[in-house]
Amino acid sequence: MKPIVEVHDLTVMVGGRRGLLVRNVPPVRAVDGVGFELGQGEILALVGESGSGKTTLGRTLLGLQRETSGEIRLDGTTVSGLAPEAARRARRDIQYVHQDAGAALDPWWSIGRTLAEGLLIHGVRSAAERVDRVAEMLAAVGLDPAWGRRYPHEFSGGQLRRVALARILLLRPRVLILDEPTSGLDMSVQATVLNLLLELRERFSLTYLFISHDLSVVERLSDRVAIMHLGRIVEIGATKPLFAKPSHAYTRALLDAVPRLEGRSTSIGMPVAAK
Amino acid sequence: MIPVLDVRGLKVTIRTDEGRAEVLDDVGLKLERGRILGVVGESGCGKSTLIRAVMGILPKGATVEAGEIWFEGENLLVFSERELNRQVRSSRIGFIPQDPLLALNPVFKVGTQLLEVMRWHAPGTRRDHIARLVMLLRRMQVPDPENALERYPHQFSGGQRQRLLIAAALSCAPRLVIADEPTTALDVTTQHQILLLLRELVSEFDLSLLFVTHDFGVVAELCDDLCVIYAGQTVEAGPVQTILRAPSHPYTRALLACHPDRATSFVGIPGLVPSPLARPAGCLFAPRCADVRAGCDVRPGLGRAPSGAQVRCVQFT
């Protein structure tokens, strides 16, 4: 499998300030020497607790956060070390689906208008083409194209996730960073959203970086898993063997904590080091 | 032994601009002393309304049309607002909310907020209250419990805030604790610790716990009994192990099939929970049911399935 994204020894420092009159605050090493490859068409899950650096890593790949050191390659071309604007342009193939779909949409804009805006920014000048592509994409994510006239509050949580997906897919990305795509959804709706993600991957030949802390979902959906802890990837590997035989102590602690349908876990669980 | 909480045939309607919404139609549940009862259902099935009815904090325009809510042998529905405040809420029924950040006021110290509740609802002096709170915070494994009361909510992490609110719920020594999805906002490891803690607290403080969730995994880990609610009706009730082993109602089966641990493919349940403004005639689940048969056009009552669970389906009546 040809890697579409390659990350080598990536380090990102965030925050921190120095000044004459304020206290010096050292920056935090949010991502610390991370390296991995993302194969074409693959679903790689990025798992870790809050504060483990998974969102920072996602933002850095997008180009929203500048890397401190290390290299990011997209299709073999180095896209790191650029100024923010240039970085974002070079990484148009990578797009991000927001965790809270409701918050990512403007409540005063109809869905159709919001979706068309992305196309306008990306240079689709013909209004008729924009309308057609929006309608086509709404149908692709399983929504009625006529619903483009509706406003965000008229949609349910699961439908909003679909709208958010449609909005990003209009930009014809190749790599999607999905930030907790099913958090806060009912089990019944979660299943339909996951199903849609698999369908869309086939249809648009997408590659997913799937950020999640829901390990049951990760186990079912992803091809490979990377476990992040305190800014580092502590374990990475194919999903099945990793879940069956985790080698890192932190991975074991995480897996033990998952509430399972079959049987109550009796272990008290390994104490997980505080941040 | 009388159950701690016994809800029978509860029917609640809410007046809205678009008409009368039948939010709860026929909900029944029984929580025995020292047990943990899980209430499961999709959003919009009436879980929150059920909790609010038990605590007597239904929104304006809501009416209890029928049914009874028995708490330790007393019918809560005959209590006045003042009696509920003085004798029931906080002092005998504690509440753990879903979002620990929303429940704490950011501009007041944690101690001020928790002691305010105890001032009204717990016996003893302020000094007793502080001693009890510190004891509870230590039990909840909040770091540095003596000084925690002097700190502000933002100085605690999400898991610690949830621990503060569990301490708050227990501060007035209630008999019943109602928890509304208290772990949905937390990491799996933190969730695991909180679930273990809740389990220990139930026996340690002689509590009964009503635990609302939509996660069957959490139910399997934590609860003794289970009550599945759909569109304002109890559709299946019984011991957790019985229902997990042999789910009888088509809705329970469909929900369980959505859980990644059991799912063969990601299908979900087609359709939506019917709007409380326009409930279908006949069985409420029939429009989404994979197992529709003759007789589904009549609303079924509760029957008993071969597994021993109470089930509301025409197959078992």
Q: Do A259 and B265 touch (CB under 8 A)?
A: no
Amino acid identity, residue A66? R
Where does the pLDDT of residue A263 fall: very low under 50, low under 70, confident under 90, or very high at 90 and above?
low
Which is it for strands A94-97 and A175-179: parallel, antiparallel or unpaired?
A: parallel
The reply to whether B232 falls in a domain is yes
A272 pLDDT exceeds 60?
no
CA of B204 to nearest chain A CA: how many angstroms apart?
17
DSSP-assigned beta bridge partners for residue B190: none
Q: Are B259 and A216 in contact (CB under 8 A)?
A: yes
Q: Are B217 and A258 in contact (CB under 8 A)?
A: yes
Greater model confidence, B229 or A2: B229
- Helix or strand (DSSP H, E) at B156: none
pLDDT score recorded for residue A14:
85
A271 pLDDT exceeds 70?
no
Mean pLDDT for B114-122 is 91
pLDDT score recorded for residue B114:
92
DSSP-assigned beta bridge partners for residue B211: B38, B179
Residues of chain A contacting residue B221, judged by C-beta atoms under 8 Å apart: 259-260, 264-265
Percent of chain A with pLDDT over 90: 48
CA of A109 to nearest chain B CA: how many angstroms apart?
25
Which pairs count as long-range contacts for B78-84, CB under 8 Å and 24+ apart, including other chains? B81/B56, B84/B55, B84/B56
B182 and B162 part of one domain: no
Sign of CA dihedral A203, A206, A207, A210: negative
A270 pLDDT exceeds 50?
no
A269 pLDDT exceeds 60?
no
CATH number for the domain spanning B185: value is: 3.40.50.300
CA of B181 to nearest chain A CA: how many angstroms apart?
11
B266 pLDDT exceeds 80?
no
DSSP states of B185-222: TS-HHHHHHHHHHHHHHHHHTT-EEEEEES-HHHHHHH
The residues of B whose Cβ lies within 8 A of any Cβ of A are: 42-43, 158, 184, 187-193, 195-196, 214-218, 220-222, 244, 254-256, 258-263, 265-269, 272
Where does the pLDDT of residue A133 fall: very low under 50, low under 70, confident under 90, or very high at 90 and above?
very high
Domain count, chain B: 2
Task: Round the average pLDDT of chain A to a whole number and report it.
Answer: 87
Amino acid identity, residue A249? A
B147 and B190 part of one domain: no
A195 closest CB neighbour out of B184, B218, B267? B267
Q: What share of chain B is helix, strand, coil (3-state, %, to 5)?
A: 35, 25, 40
Interface predicted TM-score (ipTM): 0.75
Mean pLDDT for B174-179 is 95
The reply to whether B97 falls in a domain is no
Whose CA is closest to B162, among B102, B79, B227?
A: B102
Where does the pLDDT of residue A1 fall: very low under 50, low under 70, confident under 90, or very high at 90 and above?
low
pLDDT score recorded for residue A264:
52
A267 pLDDT exceeds 60?
no
B208 and B83 part of one domain: yes
Which is it for strands A43-47 and A207-212: parallel, antiparallel or unpaired?
A: parallel
Chain A residue nearest residue B189, CA to CA: A257
B256 pLDDT exceeds 50?
yes
**Number of other residues whose CB lies within 10 A of the CB of residue A264:** 14
DSSP-derived 3-state class of residue A168: helix
The reply to whether B207 falls in a domain is yes
B115 and B256 part of one domain: no
pLDDT score recorded for residue B212:
94
Greater model confidence, B253 or A184: B253
Least confident of A72-76, A86-90, B249-253: A86-90
Residue B64 lies in domain: 5-92+177-274
B17 and B45 part of one domain: yes
B55 and B182 part of one domain: yes
Gap between the Cα atoms of B207 and B95, Å rounded: 12
Structure tokens at B24: 């709860």
